[in-house]
A and B are shown apart, each in its own frame.
Chain A
Amino acid sequence: MKVEFHGEARLENLGSVREFVAGACRQAGADSSFCFDLKSAVDEACTNIILHGYREREPGSLDVCFEEDAERMVVTITDRGRSFAPGEIPAPDLSSPWRERAAGGLGWHLIRKMVDEVEYQADGEKGNRLILVKRRNSGGRL
């Protein structure tokens, strides 16, 4: 199965993106916990694109493609905003006391926890592509 969502990079569209991903995921036979994780990762990624990729620009396109096979589900998010380097985003310190706790980096931390693979391809012409992969056998929660 392959289904696509095409929209503008606006915060108002986040709910529709989450519904699209969760719906496709359920249709592909995954349980609700698995689908929650996948839609969370996609929501965090889209929020970053909207707030940072298109910062001080007119909202451009935000396209989400969902594909699945027997082993995994793959969500590809394509945008035409600024590219960035996901590998350079520092992991948050989750053990610091509340006074020193910072919220920065939590979105990327959640993405890395919610899916199994994250790949990013920056391309000024074809658009930036963020590929999130969640394997079907990774749905169980510890």
Chain B
Amino acid sequence: MEIEVTHREQVTIVAIVGSVDGLTAGELSQSFREQVRGGYVRIVGDWSGVEYTSSAGLRALLETVKEARQRGGDLRLAAVQPDVLRVLELAGFTGILKLFPDIEAAVGSFRS
């Protein structure tokens, strides 16, 4: 799994490529935590390159969305692929996370 963090407007984009599983989810949590605790609480997760996520990845998302919202921000996901979307749906995460078809829409959602 690779993580790339970029900033656009006042939004932090965390792009993930690869699989988020029991081995890699800790690194993802750590990366999200650094952003949120550094004051970057408006986060878009670019999920276009995520081919797999397990419940360990869901745990990282849940921790981050809670912490970001408690600080006045949010974690929103862009371009979630169909298989990974199914995991989010089965876990009931589509009811608590805001999903967008692409990065532009997700970044733009923080403007309104």
Give residues in A with beta carbon < 8 Å to B: 11-12, 14-15, 18, 32-33, 36-37, 39-40, 43-44, 47, 50-51, 92, 94-95, 97-99, 101, 103, 106-107, 109-110, 113-114, 141
Contact = CB atoms under 8 A, between A and B. Distances in A.
A75 to B, nearest CB: 16
A95 B19 contact: no
Contacts of A18: 19, 21, 52
Interface in B55-103: 55-56, 58-59, 62-63, 65-66, 69, 82-83, 86-87, 90-92, 95-96
Nearest to B83: A36
Contacts, number: 79
5 contacts: A36-B83, A43-B54, A44-B55, A107-B55, A113-B90
Contacts of A15: 19, 21, 23
Given A98-B66, A113-B90, A43 B95 contact: no
B28 to A, nearest CB: 13
A36 B54 CA distance: 11
Interface residues on B, range: 20 to 34
A96 to B, nearest CB: 9
Given A14-B23, A15-B21, A33-B83, A95 B58 contact: no
Closest 8 CB pairs of A and B: A94-B92, A47-B22, A106-B55, A103-B59, A11-B23, A107-B55, A98-B96, A36-B83
A14, A47, A106, A141 — most chain B CB neighbours (10 Å): A106
A95 B55 contact: no
